[in-house]
Copies of this chain bind each other. A is one copy, B any other.
Amino acid sequence: MAQKNNLKYIILGLLSERSLTGYDITKAFASDIGEFWSANHSQIYPLLIKMEANGLISHEIIVTGAKLEKKLYSLTQTGTIEFKTWLQSPTPELSASKDEFILKLYFIENSTDPLLPEMLAEQLMLHHNKLVHLQSQMTNKFENTDRKQAQFGHFLILQHAIERETAYESWLQQTINNLGD
C-alpha cells in the first residue's frame, strides 16, 4: 500500500519525544507502536538517511563499549515543524482494514459450510489472545493515573483497541453460538 509516508511522521513523532537510534525506532514497532502500525528495520534505516538528506533530522555518533558506533537521531527545526503540521492536518480518509479472515468469510456462501466452525474458532483464539495482551499492556502502562495524563493519546488508543477486540471477540462468539441453531 503506497500510503502517504506515514512512517516518516511516526519517526518524526518518536524523535519529538527524545533522540533515538534506528535500532530504538525499530524496537518501538516491536512494542508500543507495533500494536497499530508495522515497519521493519530495512525500511527504517534507509528512510532515516533520506529524512536527514531532506533536513528533517540530524544525527551524532555515540560510541558504546570499545568501538560500536550508534547514530543518535534528533529532530531539526524543520522536522519539528513538519511533524506539528502533520498533527494539525485533517485525516479525512478511512482506510479499509485489510483483514484476511474477513476476506475468506466473504466467500463463505452457506451457514452450513463445514469450514465455518473451525475458521471462527481459530479467529476467536487469536483475538482473545490479542485482547489479553492489550489488557496487560493497559495494566502495565497505565496502572498509575500520572502516566494516563502524560500519555493521554496512547491511553486512548489502547482503550480503543481493547474495545475493538472485545467487540470482535463477542461477534465471533455470538456467531459461533448461532451456528448451533
B36 touches A99 (CB 8 A): yes
Contact of A130 among B88, B94, B123, B164 (CB under 8 A): B94
A151 within 8 A of B: yes
Please encode chain A, from 93 to 113, with 1 for each CB lying within 8 Å of some chain B CB and 0 for all others.
111111111111111111101
Smallest CB gap from A10: residue in B: B103
Contact of A126 among B86, B94, B111, B164 (CB under 8 A): B94
- When all copies of this chain in the complex are counted, the total is 2
Q: Which of A1-9, A19-27, A44-52, A65-73 contacts B (4 or more CB under 8 A)?
A: A1-9
Q: How far, in whole Å, are A5 and B84 apart by their CA atoms in the complex?
A: 36
In the complex, what distance in Å separates the CA atom of A110 from the CA atom of B98? 31
Interface set, chain A 21-67, CB cutoff 8 A to B: 33-38
Is residue A136 within 8 Å, beta carbon to beta carbon, of the partner chain? no
- Contact check, B152 vs A108: say whether CB atoms are below 8 A apart: yes
Q: Is the pair A94, B127 in contact by a Cβ cutoff of 8 Å?
A: yes
Of the candidates B95, B100, B126, which one forms a contact with A99 in the assembled complex, judged by CB atoms under 8 Å apart?
Answer: B95
Nearest CB of B to A40, in Å: 10
Interface membership of A157, Cβ < 8 A: yes
| Least Cβ–Cβ distance between A9 and chain B, in angstroms | 7
Contact, CB under 8 Å: B100 / A91: yes
Please tell me if the beta carbons of A100 and B106 are within 8 angstroms of each other in the complex.
no
Chain B residue at minimum C-beta to C-beta distance from A91: B101
Judge if A159 is at the interface, Cβ distance under 8 Å. Answer: yes
> Do residues B100 and A93 form an inter-chain contact, with CB atoms below 8 A?
yes
